[in-house]
Amino acid sequence: MSNVYGIAPKAEHFGCMIDLLCRAGLLDEARELTEANTGIEFSVALWGSLLEAASRVGNVEMGEYAAKHLLELNPDDARCYIALSRMYSQGEKWEDSLEVRKRLRGSGLEKVPGCSLVEVNGVVHEFTVGSGFNPIDQIG
């Protein structure tokens, strides 16, 4: 990029490369890219991608590495704790998973529930798990 186009890469460019490497399962290469570019300030999204990829392939060491950086940037994001706990559970590291869950509960943080949108008869409805809304009831 620099040699051919004369453009200095920014955090966003590294973020795209790291996300692509993670999606391809090349976590060691993604880590090398983060470590080789210490002058770049990486985002919460980038570290989240690395954590999710590590969790997906069961690479606990990489997940812990990503979670450490993620929590430094955003210690109040419950999603990191949830992903880390899930990763430990998948690796049958039950005590570690329980410890992360205890830290999450003790911190007072809560995971923000995801939501879904559905359009029924021209009206868009938003609902979350447990909301009691059933879009099928609206058809008629």
pLDDT value for 95: 94
pLDDT of residue 67: 92
Do 118 and 124 contact (CB within 8 A), yes or no?
yes
62, 27 contact by CB (below 8 A) = yes
Cα–Cα distance, 120 to 140 (Å, whole number): 10
Any residues with CB less than 8 A from the CB of 1 and at least 6 apart, and which?
7, 9, 13
* Number of other residues whose CB lies within 10 A of the CB of residue 59: 20
pLDDT for res 18: 82
- Residue 98's SS3 state is helix
From first to last of its 140 residues, what are the pLDDT tens digits of the chain? 888 999 888 888 888 888 888 888 888 898 888 888 767 777 888 888 888 888 888 889 989 999 999 989 988 888 888 888 989 998 889 999 999 889 888 887 777 667 778 788 888 877 776 666 555 555 55
pTM (two decimals) = 0.69
Domain map of the chain by residue range? Answer: 2-109, 111-140
Q: Say how far apart CA 67 and CA 52 lie, in whole Å.
A: 10
Four-way CATH pick for 2-109: 3.40.50.10800, 3.40.50.2300, 3.40.50.300, 1.25.40.10 = 1.25.40.10
Counting Cβ atoms within 10 Å, is residue 18 exposed (0-12), middle (13-18) or buried (19+)?
Answer: buried
